[in-house]
Amino acid sequence: MLNNITALGSNRLLNLLTDNCRQNLLTHCELVSINLDEVLCNLGDVIKYVYFPVEGIVSWEKKITDSPYWVVTLIGNEGMICISLLLGINERSCRAVVQKSGFALRIPATIFTQQVEQKPALSMILNRYANVMYNQALQIAACNLFHVIENRLARLLLMFQQRSQSDEINITQDKLAKMLGVRRVGVTKAAGSLQRKNLISYIRGSVIIHDIAGLKKASCGCYEADNATYNNMM
């Protein structure tokens, strides 16, 4: 079964391991499909599995006390879900929800913990990824403060595009608004503006990106900054 992975694509974190090390880890992995709106781990759950997405997109969301809002970032095959287990924290303050169906490699938490202890190469790579996540969180903080909705929407669309390798994003404006922490009306306005600039077009429930380079210009520098952080660190 695991031989199919190459056909599907693969996980960029695991790709950084030596062939030997990766093969050994993969024997403990199970390839599972992840489906839209599936909750991979919920608030307060004890972590049962960690996931390395191979295809598809997962949102990583932190609940904010006394508020209906969640801080959101997206994770695809460049990352993993439940990295905090690396730090020995096995109860979650965040949840993970599938935003685009696909596949992921799943490892039971106990085995993952053992593997990390036994394989310095693995823990080194995941440590670096944890630091990427931290810097991304600070980037979101700045982005939320300084950048207008249109820029932030452009950034979010690019994040979808990058993680799905597809120019069509199946999502409603309402969901985009929740991810950005703004009103749906705000997204309608921003999306309309991006469309008028011929960067995207959209219909009910799906956005099509026409001009990635243009969209990058229309986004804030945070998209590129996140990528730079990832590339430097990994």
Binding site for DNA (CB under 7 A): 147-150, 172-174, 181-186, 188-192, 202-206
63 vs 183 by CB, closer to DNA: 183
Minimum Å distance from CB 150 to a copy of itself?
16
Q: Pick one of a copy of itself, DNA, none as the site partner of residue 150 (Cβ within 5 to 8 A by kind).
A: DNA
Minimum Å distance from CB 189 to DNA?
6
44 vs 205 by CB, closer to a copy of itself: 44
Minimum Å distance from CB 205 to DNA?
5
Q: Which of residues 174-213 bind a copy of itself (CB under 8 A)?
A: 181
Q: What would the two tokens of residue 83 be? A: 């990295």
Q: How many CB atoms lie within 10 A of CB 89?
A: 12
Q: Pick one of DNA, a copy of itself, none as the site partner of residue 192 (Cβ within 5 to 8 A by kind).
A: DNA
Q: How many Å from the N-terminal Cα to the C-terminal Cα in the chain?
A: 28
Give the relative orientation of helices 222-233 and 149-164 as an angle to the nearest 10 degrees: 40
Residue 134 binds a copy of itself (CB under 8 A): yes
Q: Pick one of a copy of itself, DNA, none as the site partner of residue 191 (Cβ within 5 to 8 A by kind).
A: DNA
Residue 231 binds a copy of itself (CB under 8 A): no
Angle at 75 between CA 73 and CA 77, to 5 degrees: 165
8 in Cβ contact with 101 (< 8 Å): no
Among 127, 193, 195, 227, indicate the residue that binds a copy of itself (CB under 8 A).
Answer: 127
Question: DSSP string covering 75-89, please?
Answer: E-TTS-B-GGGGGT-
Residue 124 binds a copy of itself (CB under 8 A): yes
CA-CA-CA-CA torsion sign (118, 122, 125, 126): negative
CA dist 215 and 99 (Å) reads 21
Minimum Å distance from CB 184 to DNA?
6
Query: Which residue's structure tokens are 């670096």?
Result: 128
- Write the single-letter amino acid at 48: K
Among 84, 151, 164, 219, indicate the residue that binds a copy of itself (CB under 8 A).
Answer: 84
Using the contact rule CB under 8 A, the part of the chain among 7-15, 49-57, 131-139, 163-171 near a copy of itself is 131-139
Nearest Cα neighbor of 194 from 170, 179, 211 is 211
Read off the DSSP letter of residue 42.
-
DSSP bridge partners of 81: 51
Residue 115 binds a copy of itself (CB under 8 A): no
Buried b or exposed e, range 206-225, using 16+ CB within 10 angstroms: ebebeeeebbeebbbebbeb
Which residues are at the interface with a copy of itself (CB under 8 A)? Answer: 62, 64-67, 69, 71, 84, 86-89, 93-94, 124, 127-128, 130-131, 133-135, 137-142, 144-146, 181, 221, 224-225, 228-229, 233
